[in-house]
Amino acid sequence: MCSHFTVTRSWKLLWFPRFHRCSVPPVDGLPYCSSHVPAPLAAGLRRLHQRGQALAEAGFCVVLFVLLSAGAVDFGYSFFALHTIAHATSAGARIASAYQLNGRGPCGTYSSPATATSAVDSFIRGQVGGIATINSVSVVECDGNICPASTDTANCGNTGSTIPQVVVTVQGTLPVLTGMFGSGPRSFTRVQTFRDEGR
């Protein structure tokens, strides 16, 4: 009888040592079996298995770290870009509220709405820069919930019962950095309302 380690194949297709007993007469006074695995070889197989397991764990950790990093970068950029756009929209609405104070038309509305819109559009695009793509900027004067405000002197809405307002709307898209949240540009819309100081 002799005791030794043999190598068997598990269901995971990995080689593991297994304790086994066999009944073979000793050779030259030493226990011997035809399937005997020397201790150094068994130890080497164990080290090989441990190294493979460590490599697989390291690969999983690297992939997880890359995914988390990419998601953090994408989310951080989007948060920063939208904050900048919201600030630029608010500043543009403030400019629109005081635009052409000395040259308003009937009912205190813009004498040239296109000029006012162009001025606000240029300012907002300058503030945003290349952070995002601005598709459109609109500037609308309102009398309470009535938009646009009437330019008919007989129907001017600024009678004290409504608050004259100017509404600035910015629409555009954010660029894709890592593709973690979709492969296409993400659309955004920002709206800011200020009291129209010219009416």
Using one digit for the tens of pLDDT, what is the confidence trace for 28-77?
A: 555 545 455 555 655 555 665 666 677 788 888 988 888 888 888 888 89
Contact 97, 123 (CB under 8 A): no
Distance CA 180, CA 72 (A): 9
120 or 178, which is more confident?
A: 120
Tokens of 136: 């459109």
97 or 31, which is more confident?
A: 97
4 or 97, which is more confident?
A: 97
Where do runs of H (alpha helix) occur along 98-132? 113-128
Mean pLDDT along residues 15-20? 46
**Rounded (5°) CA angle 188-193-195:** 165
Distance CA 188, CA 146 (A): 25
Spatial CA neighbour of 73 closest among 195, 188, 175, 158: 175
In the chain the first and final C-alpha atoms are separated, in Å, by 108
User: 3-class SS at 79?
Assistant: helix
Whether 79 shows a pLDDT value over 70: the answer reads: yes
Summarize pLDDT for 147-185 with one digit per residue, the tens: 888 777 777 765 555 788 999 999 999 988 877 767 778
Distance CA 60, CA 72 (A): 18
